[in-house]
Amino acid sequence: MIDAASKAFFQAISRSAFLKLLATRYGMSGERGFARRFIAGEHVEQVIAAARAVETRGLAITLDYLGESVSETPEARRATQEYLDIVDRIVAAGIERNISLKLSQLGLDLDPQLGLDNLRRILQRASPHGFFVRIDMESSAYTDATLDVFETLWEEGFRQVGVVLQSALRRSAEDLRRVTRMGARVRLVKGAYKEPRELAWQRRAEVDAAYVSLTQALLREGTYPAFATHDPAMIAAAKTYAAEYGVRRDAFEFQMLYGIRRDLQTALAAEGYKVRVYIPFGREWFPYFMRRLGERPANVGFVIRALLKER
């Protein structure tokens, strides 16, 4: 695991306009672009093809149109319209109806009401078609606003919607109690953002211990929890506690990122666990891609090898 300083470094360079331009030129070029391992493509046709390939392997899917922290209201409206169109395209394609999104992409930074209204529009389009919509959790600066938007829409009757909590944040145990009391679905992740010490655990062992503790709570009290991890120790803990608490294998799922540990995805599915693959796509893929490099050293090696092959 890359240390906190390295993670912060990758997050910093993800904001470089020059590097983004350079990566955009080479990262998604053809089928051999170095980012294609982790990003399904820039267009909806590409992600639908990728989703079908994943479903052929017996795995579930969720699609994420990448983007975050828009700076102008028209951008938020365009992103919302893109999601409305994606909903229609998914229905027409006949693939599983499951999407993930970020509220900052829908205008949360500009005005919480704007983010709320735009997400409501997406849910109004998606809900009649049986979609499940997951609200991704961003940095700790967004946690309160994200949970407030989520709870508001839940109280309005939108029940095919879930949220994400991060074991790295010290507050997540209390947030988990809040969400499980509602009966809502949680995706548990470790967290990919550099956070201050007073808000987040800094050592890997602390983040892992919190993940295991939250896993236990979700298996005891949660509603169809999702454990998003590629860490064999975290997966083993979920399997152990599920067996101990008598939780059926179809009462929770594992989630993994597109292009990462495909061997493990297949092995878990063969054991009878449900595995969902998070498939990102879109032109704004660079910040997401850099966070993936900041999470796992093997990802950096993969990109370097791909670049050397390109040369």
Distance in angstroms (rounded) separating the CA atoms of residues 136 and 49: 23
Q: Helix 172-182 and helix 143-155: axis angle, to 10°?
A: 10
Catalytic residue among 64, 109, 125, 136: 136
CA angle centred on 286, ends 281 and 288, rounded to 5°: 70
Catalytic residue among 36, 97, 125, 187: 187
Pure H helices in the chain:
4-13, 17-27, 44-56, 73-93, 112-126, 143-155, 172-182, 204-221, 232-245, 262-270, 286-295, 297-310
Q: Answer yes or no: are the C-beta atoms of 229 and 189 closer than 8 Å.
A: yes
Of 3, 2, 1, 4, the C-alpha closest to 194 is 4
Cβ burial of 115 (10 Å; 0-12, 13-18, 19+) is buried
- Specify the amino acid at residue 33: G
Of 242, 243, 211, the C-alpha closest to 228 is 211
187 carries an active-site annotation: yes
Q: Answer yes or no: are the C-beta atoms of 146 and 115 closer than 8 Å.
A: no
Of 120, 189, 108, the C-alpha closest to 158 is 120
136 carries an active-site annotation: yes
Distance in angstroms (rounded) separating the CA atoms of residues 115 and 149: 8
Catalytic residues: 136, 187
